[in-house]
Amino acid sequence: MGNQVLAVDIGATKVALALVDEAMGVSEKREIRVDNETDLWSEIARHSLEIVNKISGNFLGVGIGSAGPLHLSTGSISPVNIPQWRKFGIVDSFRKVLQTEYVVLHGDALAFTHAEHRLGAGQGVENLLGMVVSTGIGGGLILNNTVFNGDSGNASFIGHHTINFDGIACACGRYGCVETYASGPRMAEIARTRGWKSDSPSFIALAEDARSGNSTALEVIDEGTRALAVGIVNTLATLDIRTVVLGGGVTQAGDIFWNPLREHVKNEARFTSFLENLDLRSAQLDRDAGVIGAALGVISEIESLDRVPNLNKQRG
């Protein structure tokens, strides 16, 4: 019952769909695996229709948080890790399938940041950098308590900051991006090139071996967190802000990730005279941050209008 939003969180390896109500309750959550063999949009459309048809109250619209780059002026997306979508018109596609004009798009890491600022670890912070460290690396910004999109919707595209222009080739086409050193799959891949072996060669296995004292695993995670720290400090120094909330699968590795990251951030920040006592925080909303943040894109606009628009027919 009540007012509900279809929330869509588009990441590098999966798309999460859910209903989110105005109290931020999440229901009907589903996940669709991203691969090049599946007609991804057809799967999303099918599940979206099934979910929305279960709404017994008002359907307020669709909130989308997507991996970038985004093209807000056309409502389209070109996620680096989803090559089948290049300038894919996600907004118009949802409008047609669900027969609603109310579709709000922003970056997946910005959706995460919005949710953590509103309900999680970033509450009470005026200026905030949020980061998702997982299959890819993304960033989002809250400036002066306001969601900051930038001109095109790609503010804080931190995973693709180049920190070594002679470095590893990135899927985006540049060299030495933060993501090429610090994402979960890339750390596992770098470790494998140095002789690390595992029955399950993932970052989860790499972190477990690091906790057991494996020297290669420890070395690669240390290097990855250093690369991430450089990207963080570059961004904070550019904006003169000091609080970061980090989430995503890699951050759930515990002290084997957080201890070197904190040390590297502290070391990188010492070269400035104004980035003292940087505040690194762990996300609080876990796996629901993405869909909650996506829904907030719609709910916040409704709040700004101080009314619930009669955009869609009552469903029941």
Domain ranges of the chain: 3-108+297-305, 121-283
| pLDDT tens column, 113-153 | 999 999 999 999 999 999 999 989 999 999 999 999 888 88
CATH fold label, 121-283: Nucleotidyltransferase; domain 5 (3.30.420)
Stretch 71-84: mean pLDDT? 91
pLDDT at 1: 53
| pLDDT tens column, 26-56 | 999 999 998 877 789 999 999 999 999 989 8
pTM, full prediction: 0.88
User: Cβ neighbours of residue 46 under 8 Å, at least 6 residues apart?
Assistant: none
pLDDT band for position 201 (cuts 50, 70, 90): confident
Q: Which CATH architecture has domain 3-108+297-305?
A: 2-Layer Sandwich (3.30)
Residue 118 and residue 135 in contact, taking contact as beta carbons nearer than 8 Å: no
CA–CA distance from 6 to each of 82, 186, 311 (Å)?
22, 32, 14
Q: In the structure encoding, which two tokens stand for residue 311, read together?
A: 């955009």
Common-topology check for domains 3-108+297-305 and 121-283: yes
Nearest to 67 by CA among 130, 146, 148, 159: 159
Residue 267 and residue 104 in contact, taking contact as beta carbons nearer than 8 Å: no
Stretch 15-22: mean pLDDT? 93
pLDDT at 180: 96
Nearest to 17 by CA among 35, 37, 43: 43
Inform me whether the pLDDT recorded for 316 exceeds 60. Answer: no
pLDDT at 302: 73
pLDDT at 312: 42
Inform me whether the pLDDT recorded for 310 exceeds 60. Answer: no
pLDDT at 191: 97
Element at 181 (helix H, strand E): helix 178-182
